[in-house]
Amino acid sequence: MAKGDAKARTHTTRAAPEPAFVQLLTPEGDRVEHPDYTVDFTDEEYRSLYHDLVVVRKLDAEATALQRQGELGIWASLLGQEAAQVGSGRALRTQDMAFPTYREHGVLYCRGIDPIMPLRLFRGVDQGAWDPNEFKFGMYTIVIGAQTLHATGYAMGVGKDGKVGSDDGEAVIAYFGDGATSQGDVNEAFIWASVFNAPMVFFCQNNQYAISEPLERQTRVPLYHRASGFGFPGLRVDGNDVLACYAVTRKALDDARHGQGPSLIEAYTYRMGAHTTSDDPTRYRIASEVEAWQAKDPIKRLRAFLDKQAIAGDDFFAAVDEEARVAAVDLRERVLTMPDPDPRSLFDHVYPHGSPELDQQREQFSTYMASFEGSGH
Ligand SMILES: Cc1ncc(C[n+]2csc(CCOP(=O)(O)OP(=O)(O)O)c2C)c(N)n1
Ligand SMILES: [Mg+2]
């Protein structure tokens, strides 16, 4: 059976109907009004939002290419999720703290972290760390959902330090995926954040898949409905609409910083690429599903809006493309000058003080590695 053939699939497709969500910008680039949410951007701010979406996508594509060329161990692409990440990332105020998964390169960019940092991490060299306190952005977390507990504990601390209750208050956002909602950690985080009224925003990027597992294997109810069972508000936003993602996140963060407790945002989006570079999505999802989501592309719709409103024209779009290209070239050059990671370094940083078992494993591995050295392999 050919790849992409619907009959090969074991789950039902999600062709339609479109779920109800907060939307401010249609896929065609038309502004729609919403009774509770709006944005008030200047033309310059709209252009800068577009700039960030394009740059983030280009850097991500370059990282995928670098992995394919053997420069990175693995890469988790954000393709298709740029609006959810840039919209929510730009809604953060300087004092707010974010806890990411392994896919939040767009939020990392919004926090002002050098975009080479995650590439360093995925190359396996130990230079790829940023100071979470300096940038108010935690380390990437591979253990699914664990960061929601870290975030909730941090947010409870913010509350105990008396940093909520005013415009200067601090709010905390935790990013996670649809698959993560099935983890015990996430559900525990919901409970703790709720009963301690922590200044938390749970930002779930529902990209429809947890690797190959489709959404219907995680839930029988819309994910945002889960919030009510834990006693806090939840809403669904069009995750491919950068304006809506910005507006709902800004409001949720402001509510949290003013002492109104946690909330859950489900950003309804789609993972346009593979789960990671180790995955082949044509084995578990159909081509027509991907095509249907291409029509809802987050960048195309903002570009259409800017064009229709005469906020930007061809010269601007070309200049942004050129800036993105230059940034990608710079990223590539910097990766290519990085040292090769030493495979033995995988034993470092496991425990702060080491262990006899680890020392023994390191020794065995070194002997194994030595058998290749000098053999031309
Ligand atoms: C505790 C734990 N279980 C399993 C895995 C393996 N794993 C890595 S990514 C992933 C799927 C996560 O899906 P989702 O939460 O929807 O996030 P997405 O990758 O779609 O952004 C799984 C199961 C893991 N990293 N950690
Ligand atoms: Mg997912």
> Residues 111, 123, 250, 275: which is the catalytic one?
275
* Cβ of 179 below 6 Å from ligand 1: yes
Whether 154 is catalytic is no
CB atoms within 10 A of CB 38: 12
346: tokens are: 């995988």
Task: Place 376 in a pLDDT band, splitting at 50, 70 and 90.
Answer: low
Spell out the alpha helix ranges (H) of the chain. Answer: 43-68, 82-91, 105-110, 116-123, 132-135, 146-160, 184-195, 226-230, 242-257, 287-294, 298-308, 314-336, 356-370
CB atoms within 10 A of CB 28: 11
Whether 349 is catalytic is no
Q: Is residue 1 part of a domain?
A: no
Range of the domain at 34: 16-336
Q: Is residue 193 part of a domain?
A: yes
pLDDT digits (tens, 9 = 90+) for 317-367: 999 999 999 999 999 999 999 988 888 888 887 888 889 999 999 999 999
* Cβ of 296 below 6 Å from ligand 1: no
Task: Please state at what angle helix 314-336 crosses helix 43-68, rounded to 10 degrees.
Answer: 40
pLDDT digits (tens, 9 = 90+) for 147-185: 999 999 999 999 999 999 999 999 999 999 999 999 999
What distance in angstroms lies between residue 212's CA and the mean position of ligand 2's atoms?
A: 9
13 pLDDT higher than 60: no
Atom of ligand 1 nearest to the CA of 81: 21
Average confidence (pLDDT) over 118-143 = 90
Of 320, 336, 352, the domain-final residue:
336
Task: Place 377 in a pLDDT band, splitting at 50, 70 and 90.
Answer: low
367 and 228 co-located in one domain: no
Q: Is residue 163 part of a domain?
A: yes
72 and 211 co-located in one domain: yes
Task: Place 7 in a pLDDT band, splitting at 50, 70 and 90.
Answer: very low
138 and 229 co-located in one domain: yes
Atom of ligand 1 nearest to the CA of 101: 21
141 and 74 co-located in one domain: yes
First to last CA, the chain: 39
276 and 377 co-located in one domain: no
285 and 377 co-located in one domain: no
Residue closest via CA to ligand 1's atom 17 equals 177
What distance in angstroms lies between residue 219's CA and the mean position of ligand 2's atoms?
A: 12
Distance CA 98, CA 256 (A): 13
10 pLDDT higher than 50: no
Number of domains in the chain: 2
To test the ligand 1 pocket, which listed residue (82, 144, 219) has its Cβ within 8 A of the most ligand atoms? 144
Q: Is residue 5 part of a domain?
A: no
Ligand that lies nearest to the alpha carbon of residue 276, given by its number in the listed order:
1
What distance in angstroms lies between residue 18's CA and the mean position of ligand 1's atoms?
A: 25
What distance in angstroms lies between residue 256's CA and the mean position of ligand 2's atoms?
A: 25
185 and 312 co-located in one domain: yes
350 and 280 co-located in one domain: no
CATH number at residue 269: 3.40.50.970
Distance CA 61, CA 133 (A): 28
Distance CA 237, CA 91 (A): 14
11 pLDDT higher than 70: no
Output DSSP code: residue 157.
H
Residue closest via CA to ligand 1's atom 20 equals 210
What is the pLDDT at residue 96? 98
* Cβ of 285 below 6 Å from ligand 1: no
Average confidence (pLDDT) over 216-238 = 97
Q: Is residue 329 part of a domain?
A: yes
* Cβ of 267 below 6 Å from ligand 1: no
What is the pLDDT at residue 8? 41
186 and 100 co-located in one domain: yes
Mean pLDDT of the chain: 93
Atom of ligand 1 nearest to the CA of 218: 16
Residue 237, phi then psi, degrees to nearest 5? -125, 150
Output DSSP code: residue 31.
B
Nearest residue to 80 (alpha-carbon basis) of 265, 246, 273, 242 = 273
234 pLDDT higher than 80: yes
Residue closest via CA to ligand 1's atom 5 equals 144
Contacts of residue 107, Cβ cutoff 8 Å, sequence gap at least 6: 85, 86, 88, 89, 92, 98, 100, 137, 175
Q: Is residue 6 part of a domain?
A: no
Whether 226 is catalytic is no
Q: Is residue 10 part of a domain?
A: no
pLDDT digits (tens, 9 = 90+) for 47-104: 999 999 999 999 999 999 999 999 999 999 999 999 999 999 999 999 999 999 999 9
Distance CA 300, CA 294 (A): 9
Distance CA 54, CA 40 (A): 21
Average confidence (pLDDT) over 204-208 = 98
* Cβ of 143 below 6 Å from ligand 1: yes
3-state secondary structure 343-360: HHHHHCCCCCCCCHHHHH
166 and 99 co-located in one domain: yes
What is the pLDDT at residue 138? 97
121 and 183 co-located in one domain: yes
* Cβ of 275 below 6 Å from ligand 1: yes
pLDDT digits (tens, 9 = 90+) for 329-338: 999 999 999 9
Distance CA 6, CA 14 (A): 12
Task: Place 313 in a pLDDT band, splitting at 50, 70 and 90.
Answer: very high
Q: Is residue 270 part of a domain?
A: yes
> Residues 93, 225, 258, 284: which is the catalytic one?
284
Does an H or E element contain 200, and which? strand 200-206
226 and 357 co-located in one domain: no
Q: Has the ipTM of the complex gone over 0.95? A: yes
